Structure 1
Amino acid sequence: MPSRRRLLATLAAAAGAGGLAGCAGRGGSGFSPGRESDTEWPLPGRGPRARNYAREAVAPRTPPGERWRASTPQSVGRPVVAADTAFVPAKDAVYALRLRDGEERWRGSIAPYGVAVADGVAYATGRGEGVVTAREVDSGEERWRVETPGDFATAPLPAPTGDAVIVGDTEGRVAALEPRTGETRWSFEAFTGVYSLAARDDRVYVGTTGGEAYELHVVEADDDADGDDDVRSVPLWRRKLPGTVRALSASRQSVFAATFGGGVFRLATGPAAGRTEWRAPDAPTVSGALVRAGGLVVAAGSDGVAALRAGDGDGRWRVPGDPTAAASPAVAAGDTLYAGIGGSIRAYALGGGIGVGPYRADAERWRRDVPARGIAVADGALVVVADDLDGDPGVVVLE
């Protein structure tokens, strides 16, 4: 907690800048706690646009208790939650754990990189092997398994239209797989390995290890002579950015891209052909996710958390991190942001606490010593995969 002197100084600075009213509303402190306690988090970014935000979800705003914990091999990706089940991509398998008590429902035989759930099916991409699998959520029965030219550094992405599962491998191949059979509907070859994906409507956004960002337009032509739809992807633009594109988040007019060491970009989409609308060069290097909440874009990593105004990239608030330690992808729910930094989960007020501009008091709501590798918000709780829970890796649910 800040001292009384620090708090008064912050309030005085706010008054001198025109009062606290200046930081309210969208993009400032105009966030409300969530009201729904039965929400899910079915994709690593929660939805295809990869906003990493559940506005309606109840989540811990004060130091939480523990619902349960379970030992699993170390996780290599982010957990997702659907159908009252937490899906954990661990080193040796996908583990499906009952959300109520952590009991194992089934495990899928793949060394996964990531997992995503849509329409009762859990899709997983392989780490160290070129394979994609689809399993029934209820039983774990394998629906199909497809081999690919390369392995993966990003999770599957069920398309917003519901007619494809998009995957991108380390060889640079992006493919849309038919959800029932795994057959390829269309494919596209990027110059370097795929590291991030996002989608909206009939557009797919691709980020690569070589720093390219792409916008693909999925086009369905008239039926051919065999009566089959001819579906293909048309690249609208390619943009070279200064470093691996570690995260993408799609909006209707723009796509936000976080790069390794090069900051965060807002890029125009469609006819504007990837033009830079703004760049925040000093934003933290994110750990695999951008958070878009209200009028904010939040970048979080080992070197701290920065909330930027989505419209122009101006900084709203910032807190330091721990550059010597690992960080997990940040997520947000209601009016709270959660990030694993330096061996602990940290919960921040999305509005940045009390103050104006970067000068804030009470931004941090609570902190818990858990070395989080990934976090999801569901069922009124945080589902956390951690490298060390009393000496072993595993999963803990905090509420």
Structure 2
Amino acid sequence: MARNRASRRQFLATVLGASAAGLSGCGSDGDATTTPGDAGTETPTDTPTDAPTAATPTDTAEPTDTPTATPTDTPEPTATATPDASSLASWPTVMRNDERWGHHSAAIGPHESVTVDWRTEFDQDAVNATPVLADGTLYIGAGGSGDDDGSFHALNPVTGETKWSKDTTAPVTSAAAVDRGFVYVGTTNGVFYALNTDDGSVFWEWDPGSTEDYTAPAVVDRGVYVGSTSSRFYKFDALDGGLEWDQNTYGAITAPPVYADGTVYATSADHELYAVSASGGLEWTTDLGASANGVAHRDRRLFVTSENNRITQVNVRGSTGWEVSRGDAFAATPAVTENRVFAGTRGGTLFAFDVSDGRELWRVTEPSGGVTAPPVVADGTVYVGARDGTVYAVTADTGDLEWSFATSNNIEEAAPILAGGRVYIGSQDGTLYALSE
């Protein structure tokens, strides 16, 4: 296996920078809010300013010798500034944090009918990756099964303008993760990169010499945790790319791993949910009865989807709390708020369950194609794409449809993110959309 390490100068500079910035914590995304609440946070409003007051016209009087006051300058009205990109809600990794909540209490999304604010089309035919947003920059990979190559891009989230782009020799189909000046992302031909966020230059890369596709990574302290379709679960050193350990499973890992309280959790096509310590020791496994398709963690409970039509709640010791079954397979990582779990099925239904006992609260059957991409929750609304090429927004409390928007092809794997009143989502039509009211 080949690994290209960073230069010593780069490495020392990075260590010093990391020491100054401090280490990132589990589930942290740099937001000002410290305790995310459930859906329905107050929406910030602009503080009104006093507008210039025009003088009231009066009847023209005959001139007199009375001296007149010296006129004063009337201030010109100023245009409202576009919100600075650096103030937008942060989604530095897929599903917002390393626990994969898919829930952001401070993000603001649209609730009425939407139009395209801006769109970016790439050279590749598909955008299957979920975008991430950190420090005022939007990062997105491009490419799909029909593409011979791929690309990775850093964009301005307000205007869609490209900051930098990097061509890759294979499609980029999974989300990246951003941490302390680096963006970590893999390709479908087995190359995993650490790129500088400033310009996209390669800091280090890992090439195992075999074709495998990586999940979105979890980056915690100096560990980069990532699964692959080669049935391997890796931990790399975030600062020099060294392989610290790899855990073998007996099936492909296609969903992003979860990191919580010193343990990493991953689902596998071998039917198992794996719990591995940060040092690489296997703690336990739980058999889900079918290919496990995604996992999220919140409040010491894991929520796992599987191909046998089930969503299962498992505690952090591996014991099952509850499970529910429906008529179709749950295909992706669920979104979890303080009191609800949201998950879609291959048959085209989005469900809401009670987080404590799995009781069904509502279902949405509008999609005419499978809901195989993860949903996300922000500002009291659930947002999700479907294989009918449509993005849906439904009220988190009731499941009522707020709006829908049709792209030109399927949305198969890409989850949306919300910030500044926009929805960002990729489609297999090769386009990244920014939608707003």
Q: TM-score, normalised by structure 1?
A: 0.80
Alignment CA distance shift 1:106-1:287 (3 Å): farther
Alignment CA distance shift 1:77-1:383 (3 Å): same
Alignment CA distance shift 1:346-1:213 (3 Å): same
Contact 2:93 2:178 in 1 (8 A): yes
Structure 1: tracts of 5 or more residues without a match: 1-29, 219-231, 354-362
In angstroms, what is the RMSD of aligned CA positions?
Answer: 2.1
Residues 128-277 of structure 1 correspond to what in structure 2 (within 5 A)? 129-148=189-208, 151-159=212-220, 162-196=221-255, 197-218=257-278, 232-270=279-317, 274-277=318-321
Asked whether 1:55 is paired with 2:105, we answer yes
Deviations 1:233-269 (A, max 9, x none): 2211111212221110012422110012331000121
Return the letter of the residue paired with 1:185. E
Contact 1:79 1:383 in 2 (8 A): yes
- Of residues 43, 62, 66, the one that matches 1:35 is 43
Query: 1:66 maps to what in 2?
Result: 116
Query: 2:56 maps to what in 1?
Result: none
Return the letter of the residue paired with 1:152. D
Asked whether 1:385 is paired with 2:426, we answer yes
Alignment CA distance shift 1:251-1:326 (3 Å): closer
Query: 1:348 maps to what in 2?
Result: 394
SS state at 1:306 partner: strand
Alignment CA distance shift 1:266-1:155 (3 Å): same
Alignment CA distance shift 1:385-1:145 (3 Å): same
Contact 2:118 2:434 in 1 (8 A): yes
Q: 1:163 offset after TM fit, Å?
A: 1.7
SS state at 1:194 partner: coil
Distance 2:262 2:333 in 1: 22
SS state at 1:280 partner: strand
Contact 2:312 2:324 in 1 (8 A): yes
Query: 2:136 maps to what in 1?
Result: 84
Contact 1:255 1:266 in 2 (8 A): yes
Distance 1:352 1:283 in 2: 21
Alignment CA distance shift 1:142-1:202 (3 Å): same
Return the letter of the residue paired with 1:35. T
Distance 1:283 1:83 in 2: 42
- Runs of at least 4 residues of structure 1 off by over 6 A? none
Pairs aligned (count): 339
Contact 2:389 2:427 in 1 (8 A): no
Return the letter of the residue paired with 1:168. G
Contact 2:272 2:288 in 1 (8 A): yes
Return the letter of the residue paired with 1:75. V
Larger radius of gyration: 2
Q: 1:67 offset after TM fit, Å?
A: 2.0
Return the letter of the residue paired with 2:230. E
Return the letter of the residue paired with 2:283. L
Residues 77-116 of structure 1 correspond to what in structure 2 (within 5 A)? 77-91=129-143, 92-110=150-168, 111=170, 112-114=172-174, 115-116=176-177
Contact 2:332 2:343 in 1 (8 A): no
Alignment CA distance shift 1:325-1:240 (3 Å): closer
Contact 1:71 1:394 in 2 (8 A): yes
SS state at 1:277 partner: strand
Contact 1:131 1:146 in 2 (8 A): yes
Q: 1:82 offset after TM fit, Å?
A: 1.6
Query: 1:334 maps to what in 2?
Result: 379
Contact 1:207 1:248 in 2 (8 A): yes
Q: TM-score, normalised by structure 2?
A: 0.73
Name the one with the larger strand percent. 1
Deviations 1:208-241 (A, max 9, x none): 12211111122xxxxxxxxxxxxx2221111121
Q: 1:158 offset after TM fit, Å?
A: 1.1
Asked whether 1:365 is paired with 2:410, we answer no
Alignment CA distance shift 1:59-1:323 (3 Å): closer
Q: 1:70 offset after TM fit, Å?
A: 1.1
Query: 2:334 maps to what in 1?
Result: 290
Structure 2: tracts of 5 or more residues without a match: 1-37, 45-86, 144-149
Contact 1:204 1:217 in 2 (8 A): yes
Asked whether 1:311 is paired with 2:363, we answer no
Q: 1:119 offset after TM fit, Å?
A: 1.7
Q: 1:83 offset after TM fit, Å?
A: 2.4
